[in-house]
Homo-oligomer: A and B are copies of this chain.
Amino acid sequence: MPFTLEDRLAVAELIALHGHFVDDGELDRLDELFTADVVYDLTDFGQPPLSGVAAVREAALALGAANPVAHHVTNVVITSWTDDRAQVRSKGLGVRADGSCGSVSYQDTVVRTPDGWRISHRRIVLRRIPLGGLSEPA
């Protein structure tokens, strides 16, 4: 099947749904977002990758009260695609219970499955310094 406008909207909604499921505590629905063998690349956090939906769910539960109270996803851009696979960049904003925020970038691979689009690979990079560390030549 060709990658249609409907696919573009479906992929954008897939990326957006993550925030709803996590913040509403619907962790039993993560299989609607991720492939069973999803790889969650946390290299930027100095952690090994998580493998599989169950590992992602357990990591969220283990983080517990240290999770943000809300996950807002913005800047969803589908940067390339074939019929059954696409690369997506987006940005995640985490709102903490104390009103402070943190920001990450998501780099996702999404794939078409018989049940719809799913994220098969997600790399998360924390935004620590402006301009990705770029600075003016001295």
Q: Is the interface of A mostly helix, strand, loop or mixed?
A: mixed
The 8 A CB mask of A86-112 against B (1 = contact, 0 = none) is 000101010111111111010000000
Q: How many residues of A contact B (CB 8 A)?
A: 56
- Please indicate the chain B residues that have their CB under 8 angstroms from the CB of A60 in the complex: 131
- Measured CB to CB, the nearest residue on chain B to A19 is B75
* A26 proximity list for chain B (CB < 8 A): 132
Checking B9, B23, B27, B72 against A72 with a beta-carbon cut-off of 8 angstroms, the contacting residue is B72
- Report Cα–Cα, A133/B22, bound state, in Å: 10
- Name which of A16, A72, A89 has the most chain B CB atoms within 10 A of its CB: A72
Asked if B99 and A16 sit within 8 Å, CB to CB, the answer is no
Contact B100 A134 (CB under 8 A): no
Q: 5 A-B residue contacts at CB 8 Å?
A: A23-B91, A25-B131, A70-B127, A72-B72, A97-B128
Interface residues of A (CB under 8 A from B): 5-6, 8-9, 13, 16-17, 19-20, 22-27, 60-70, 72-78, 89, 91, 93, 95-103, 105, 127-136
